[in-house]
């Protein structure tokens, strides 16, 4: 409901549904784009070619994000799967674009403008900056027309999916069954075993350690490393050097007054009901003198606000649903609205107070104004300095750049190609052909925090095989953990089998010997925090117990095992909620959407040139 949206909370049904919806649209960020591609074609959709450049535009940012998250765990297999998923995503969008054209879907200029201006990448101090927008597009090789046409296509394609909600439906029996499943409660207790607690009970033979090394030598390489020199332009450093006088600052204040104007806020109450007829009946009562707060407490379906008489507090524009907000910001104080329909139902609204936006005084915002002034000036300087740095990077050495631009020559530590020590764009440039193979300066690279760097290789360390003595301790720890995990798995299995037989005395002896205790949990729901979410999920995956308790031994992870005792299950007869119905409709529309995509792919002439990926 509205108060729920305002507080950004989630309903419990999300736990069941969220894992089922996997079809998403991916909007590529601007940073990290590599345009050094050939003119090769990677795919064809009904004769419409997908260029290598278009493919890399989407693939490279995803790859770099994964490399940052996974580090050395990012393998060639990850790369292969990511390439395949990326080209599939591009093909799907091309097909949807064709379908949107046939169906006559279109996106207005206002909708496109709202999307672009909401992107935090283009904001300065929380406000959209046209200068930053144009600069980032230019730095990343985009034209205004190319970028905006891409976003326009994405918005138009998304209309197809949302329009499917009109044709989706769910049967009452399915809704009732899912509500019962969601409301189910289970009573259980468990014993948890950790392999780390049993490492002293197992011993790894020296020969096993050596055999493991001999058989897995390829896993024990010290990868190639680089050390680079680099120069850096930093917005923060430029801003520090900027001097400010009061006249300039006041003129800047006059030009930027909108930044220092508080937004108008309105305080309203509402009553949410399911039908327009109910809403009109409540308005009739209010017109006859009924108390709004009392009616809200008695009739509103918004559980987040009904106990407060439907009070939503003060809020600005952009917080509530568009239909609700349009009504509130067009009302007068103490006015009661006609029924307002949103996706949640029908609202009766009363406007209680208006706080008009005010311009903050010059003195009250001096500190923030000074910071903003310096950042604005520094942003312009950074742009100019970046152009100068770009020209010099192709012509002179880093030492000469340092002299001409009064910069500092920095030197990195040694780092690998999959290192998380530096930003991925920095690493990619260092290991790129121009820098790595030719020993030349890189082109200017834009990093986070409004920093631009140019680098060159200073030193290289070749890949080498690690010796047995270097890694034997690590191997021994790994094998000890594996043996200890097998040890606790056997204990868990013995306890489970003995409990199933009903030999409580033998079970207690096993638990005493291994210093184990039951963790008492009791009754839980699916969203309970009485135990780890993984344990809760495993409990709800067990079959219902019959006349006696169900016992089960299972893995938790690579180091932990668990013995669960599920004793009872109970359900409720709660009526299905509106939230559940909406969630199921969304799920149904997703399934229809997947079917449409399947049909489009089946009827299209698709070619993927894997050798060019």
pLDDT 10s digits, 393-414: 999 999 999 999 999 999 999 9
Of 326, 355, 384, the position where a domain reaches its end is 355
Within a domain: residue 583? no
pLDDT of residue 328: 92
Please tell me the predicted confidence (pLDDT) of residue 177: 65
Asked if the model's pLDDT at residue 22 lies above 50, the reply is no
Q: Is the pLDDT score of 168 beyond 80?
A: no
Average pLDDT, integer, range 385-392: 91
Tell whether 17 and 148 lie within a shared domain. yes
My answer on whether 504 and 563 are in the same domain is yes
Say if residue 561 is in the same domain as residue 597.
no
pLDDT for 577 beyond 70:
no
* pLDDT value of position 138: 66
Q: Are residues 156 and 28 in the same domain?
A: yes
Confidence of residue 162 (pLDDT cuts 50, 70, 90): low
Q: Does position 9 have pLDDT exceeding 80, yes or no?
A: no
Residue 60 CB coordination number (10 Å): 21
How many CB atoms within 10 Å of residue 29? 14
Query: What pLDDT does 28 receive?
Result: 32
Percent of the chain with pLDDT over 70: 83
Residue 5 confidence class, pLDDT cut points 50, 70, 90: very low
Dmax (CA) for the chain in angstroms is 91
Instruction: Say what the pLDDT of residue 592 is.
Output: 64
The answer to whether 284 and 336 are in contact (CB under 8 A) is: no
pLDDT in tens, 173-225: 666 766 777 788 999 999 999 999 999 999 999 999 999 999 998 889 999 99
Q: Which residues contact 391 (CB under 8 A, 6 or more apart)?
A: none
- Tell me which of 355, 387, 421 is where a domain ends: 355
The per-residue pLDDT for range 257-270, each reduced to its tens digit, is 777 777 788 999 99
Q: Does 161 map to a domain?
A: yes
Q: Provide the domain limits for residue 310.
A: 262-355
**What pLDDT is recorded for position 495?**
95
Residue 290 covered by a domain: yes
Q: Is residue 178 part of a domain?
A: no
pLDDT score, position 159: 65
In this structure, are residues 292 and 286 in contact, taking their beta carbons and an 8 Å threshold? yes
pLDDT on residue 32: 33
Q: Please, how many CA atoms are within 13 Å of residue 546, restricted to the half-sphere of its CB?
A: 1
**CATH code of the domain in which 341 resides:** 3.10.50.40
Which position has the higher pLDDT, 238 or 273?
Answer: 273
Q: Give CA separation, 279 vs 4, 144, 349, 527, 582, in Å.
A: 21, 48, 10, 34, 21
pLDDT the model gives residue 10: 33
The larger pLDDT score, comparing residue 562 to residue 52, is at 562
Domain contains 518:
yes
Residue 363 lies in a domain: no
Q: Are residues 162 and 43 in the same domain?
A: yes
Where is the domain boundary, 411, 433, 465?
Answer: 465
Averaged pLDDT for residues 434-441:
91
Query: Closest by alpha carbon to 588, among 120, 170, 101?
Result: 170
Do 276 and 312 reside in the same domain of the chain?
yes
Q: What integer is the mean pLDDT of 534-561?
A: 91
Residues 15, 119, single domain; the answer is yes
Least confident segment among 89-103, 225-239, 289-303, 570-584: 570-584
Q: How far apart are CA 256 and CA 357, in angstroms?
A: 15
Long-range (24+ apart) CB contacts under 8 A made by 423-427 are 423/68, 423/447, 423/448, 424/32, 424/64, 424/65, 424/67, 424/68, 425/31, 425/32, 425/64, 426/453, 426/455
What interhelical angle do 468-501 and 504-513 show, nearest 10?
Answer: 160
Please give the mean pLDDT across all residues of the chain.
82
CATH of the domain at 238: 3.10.50
pLDDT given at position 161: 59
More confident residue, 343 or 474: 474
pTM: 0.45
Burial class (CB in 10 A: 0-12, 13-18, 19+), 296: buried
Burial 504-532 (b: 16+ CB within 10 A, else e): eeebeebbeebebeeeebeebbbebeebe
| DSSP reduced 3-state for 595 | helix
Residue 55 in domain:
yes
User: Which of 53, 64, 157 is CA-nearest to residue 102?
Assistant: 157
Compare 100 and 56 and report the one with higher pLDDT. Answer: 56
pLDDT at 503: 92
527 and 379 in a common domain = no
CATH number at residue 74: 1.10.4030.10
Contacts of 612 (CB under 8 A, 6+ apart): 40, 41, 42, 52
Say if residue 345 is in the same domain as residue 384.
no
DSSP state letter for 361: P
Same domain, 136 and 51: yes
Please state whether beta strands 221-222 and 345-355 pair in parallel, antiparallel, or not at all (unpaired): unpaired
Domain count of the fold of the chain: 4
Say whether 267 sits in a helix, a strand or coil.
Answer: strand
Q: Reply yes or no on whether the pLDDT at 2 is more than 50.
A: no
Rounded Cα–Cα distance for residues 35 and 140 (Å): 8
């Amino acid at each position: 409901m509205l108060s729920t949206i305002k507080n950004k909370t989630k309903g419990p049904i999300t736990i069941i549904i969220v894992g089922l919806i996997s079809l998403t649209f991916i909007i590529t960020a601007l940073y990290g784009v590599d345009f050094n591609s050939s003119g090769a074609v990677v795919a064809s959709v009904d004769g419409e070619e997908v260029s290598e450049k278009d493919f890399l535009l989407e693939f490279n940012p995803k790859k770099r994000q994964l490399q940052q998250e996974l580090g050395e765990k990012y393998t060639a297999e990850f790369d292969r799967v990511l390439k395949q998923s990326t080209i599939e995503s591009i093909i799907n969008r091309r097909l949807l674009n064709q379908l949107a054209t046939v169906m006559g879907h279109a996106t207005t200029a206002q909708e496109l403008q709202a999307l672009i201006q909401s992107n935090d990448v283009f904001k300065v101090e929380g406000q959209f900056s046209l200068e930053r927008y144009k600069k980032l597009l230019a730095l990343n090789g985009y034209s205004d027309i190319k970028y905006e046409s891409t976003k326009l296509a994405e918005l138009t394609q998304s209309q197809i999916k949302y329009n499917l909600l009109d044709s989706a439906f769910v049967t009452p029996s399915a809704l009732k069954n899912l509500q019962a499943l969601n409301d189910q409660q289970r009573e259980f207790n468990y014993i948890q075993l950790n392999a780390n607690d049993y490492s002293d009970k197992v011993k790894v033979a020296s020969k096993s350690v050596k055999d493991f090394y001999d058989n897995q030598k390829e896993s024990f390489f010290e990868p190639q490393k680089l050390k680079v020199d680099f120069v850096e332009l930093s917005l923060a450093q430029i801003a520090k050097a900027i001097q400010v006088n009061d006249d300039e600052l006041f003129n800047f204040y006059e030009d930027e007054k909108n930044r220092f104007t508080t937004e108008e806020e309105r305080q309203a109450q509402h009553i949410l009901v399911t039908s327009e007829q109910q809403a009109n009946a409540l308005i009739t009562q209010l017109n006859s003198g009924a108390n709004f707060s009392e009616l809200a407490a008695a009739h509103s379906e918004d559980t987040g606000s009904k106990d407060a008489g439907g009070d939503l507090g003060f809020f600005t524009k952009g917080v509530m649903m568009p239909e609700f907000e349009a009504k509130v910001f067009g009302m007068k104080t103490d006015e009661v609205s006609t029924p307002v329909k949103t996706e949640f139902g029908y609202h009766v609204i009363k406007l209680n107070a208006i706080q008009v936006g005010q311009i903050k005084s010059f003195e009250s915002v001096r500190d923030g104004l000074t910071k903003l002034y310096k950042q604005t000036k520094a942003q312009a300087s950074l742009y100019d300095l970046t152009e100068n740095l770009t020209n010099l990077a192709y012509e002179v050495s880093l030492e000469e750049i340092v002299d001409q631009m009064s910069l500092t020559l920095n030197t990195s530590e040694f780092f690998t190609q999959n290192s998380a020590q530096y930003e991925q764009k920095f690493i990619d440039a260092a290991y790129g052909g121009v820098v790595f193979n030719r020993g030349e300066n890189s082109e200017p690279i834009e990093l986070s925090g409004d920093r631009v760097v140019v680098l060159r290789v200073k030193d290289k360390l070749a890949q080498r095989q690690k010796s047995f003595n270097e890694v034997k301790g690590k191997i021994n720890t790994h094998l000890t953990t594996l043996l200890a995990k097998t040890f606790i798995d056997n204990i868990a299995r013995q306890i489970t089998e003995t409990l199933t037989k009903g030999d409580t005395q033998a079970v207690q002896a096993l638990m005493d010997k291994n210093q184990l205790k039951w963790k008492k949990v009791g009754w839980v729901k699916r969203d309970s925090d009485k135990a780890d979410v993984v344990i809760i999920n495993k409990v709800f995956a067990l079959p219902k117990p019959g006349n006696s308790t169900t016992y089960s031994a299972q893995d938790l992870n690579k180091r932990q095992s668990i013995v669960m005792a599920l004793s009872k299950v109970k359900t409720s007869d709660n009526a299905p909620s509106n939230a559940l119905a909406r969630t199921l409709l969304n799920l149904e529309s997703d399934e229809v959407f997947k079917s449409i995509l399947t049909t489009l792919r089946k009827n299209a002439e698709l070619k993927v040139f894997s050798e060019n990926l």
